[in-house]
Amino acid sequence: MTIPPSNGLTTTERLDRLRLIRTQNVGPVTFRQLLDRYGSATDALNALPDLSRRGGRRAALKPCSASVAQREVDAMKSLGGSHLIFGDPGFPDALAAISDAPPVLCMFGNPDFLNRPVIAIVGARNASTNGRRFAERLSRDLGAAELIVVSGMARGIDTAAHTGALATGTIAVLAGGPDVIYPRENADLYESIREHGLIVSELQPGVEPLARHFPRRNRIISGLALGVIVVEAAARSGSLITARLAAEQGREVFAVPGSPLDPRAKGPNKLIRDGAILLESAEDVMEVLPSLRRIGIGEDRESKYRTSSHSTTPPDETMLAQARAAITENLAPTPVRIDDLVRDSIYSIDILSLVLLEMELAGIVERHPGGAISLLFEAAND
């Protein structure tokens, strides 16, 4: 059994794209850069060992094997699910438009929801009774207005948002594998969404959710949506990360105001002070909706997936070595924005991009949502 061919990708290229993203040290941004540089996943896989050695890896990076990728395909099929690969005709335009779009989505349910107008509702896990009731009613009203509601299936506001939209359409983006129910108390909700909505994850079946997976999940929630609504959130809530990512992705941010005496209102109230749209009902979304540009719709769809084959001949090795040393000196385990590295560097963006690509494949640096990068702790202490 193989990944079914699509109008846009051959069967081999689809499987190779899955192999590429399942290879150690290859993340979503690196995946896109490799496709752009080499033109296909097949050619990128062949280039990985040399790139990783140039980046400082002692033993050449071994790509994920075709047999391992095929086992994942077969596992999803046996579970009743499927893969959606970056470049497939059904891959959502809005998500494809973000720089760190997930190269693969593992799915259970109705994939048609991915290409309908989507709105995100997120908020506190320890939500108040009023907050949960408001989120559920808001979700139901937005669903009645033909919007698909996306959230992260966490306790509290997420659960209420999914519940309110079950009858009209909801998408749950998971921080673990698509078959891993978390929290366990949402087992019934998970089954309902799987039957009537859509479950998606960029991770393979069986992967347990870890702390580092949640920010990555959040950028998919905001990336799928026209806008993000924050109902309740503490001052350091993960929901504020979703709101920040939404703003960086060009999405609208809405926030539900609350009492200054409630710590769960600090997040939304701050968002409103910073320019988010104050939201009291679904009508507030519908008033703004006509002016929201549907990301990717009305543009050249193929341009989001088109790859161009660049010269694979590396620049002068002396210059690359100097750039590697300079970048390593400027990095630390604390993430720094790549834009700041570019501003502080004497090297061209092409040189910096290639060096960061090599260093990531070598396991020396790590990328973070929002265009940031950090030196891995082990490398910092070599």
For 317-380, give the CATH class.
mainly alpha
Give the separation between CA 193 and CA 121, rounded to whole angstroms.
Answer: 16
Q: Terminal CA-to-CA distance of the chain, rounded, Å? A: 45
Beta-strand runs (E) in 86-195: 104-109, 118-122, 148-151, 170-173
In 3D, which of 231, 206, 247, 81 has the Cα closest to residue 151? 231
User: Would you give the DSSP letter of residue 147?
Assistant: P
Distance CA 242, CA 216 (A): 10
Whether the CB-CB separation of 285 and 227 falls below 8 Å is answered with yes
Indicate yes or no: pTM above 0.85: yes
Q: Which residues are registered as beta bridge partners of 201?
A: 106
**What's the rounded Cα separation, in Å, for the pair 373 and 34?**
17
> What is the longest distance spanned by two Cα atoms in the chain?
63
Ranges of CATH 1.10.10.10 domains, the chain: 317-380
CB 30 within 8 A of CB 360: yes
CATH 3.40.50.450 residue ranges in the chain?
110-291
Give the containing element (helix H, strand E) for 49. helix 41-54
Amino acid type, 226: L
Identity of the residue numbered 186:
N
Each residue's pLDDT tens digit in the chain (382 positions)? 344 444 579 999 999 999 999 999 999 999 999 999 999 999 999 999 999 998 989 899 999 999 999 999 999 999 999 999 999 999 999 999 999 999 999 999 999 999 999 999 999 999 999 999 999 999 999 999 999 999 999 999 999 999 999 999 999 999 999 999 999 999 999 999 999 999 999 999 999 999 999 999 999 999 999 999 999 999 989 999 999 999 999 999 999 999 999 999 999 999 999 999 999 999 999 999 876 655 444 344 444 554 444 555 566 778 888 888 888 888 999 999 988 888 888 888 888 889 999 999 999 999 887 788 999 855 544 4
**C-alpha span between 246 and 228 (Å, rounded):** 7
Token pair listed for 362:
């070598």
What is the CA 237 to chain-centroid distance, rounded? 18
**Considering only CA atoms, which of 140, 122, 129 is closest in space to residue 220?**
122
**Alpha-carbon torsion 333, 339, 340, 341, what sign?**
positive
Tokens 């997936």 -> residue: 305
Q: Which CATH number fits domain 110-291: 3.40.50.450, 3.40.50.800, 3.30.565.10, 3.40.640.10?
A: 3.40.50.450
Token pair 């990708």 in the structure block, residue: 9
Question: Tell me, what amino acid is at 88?
Answer: D
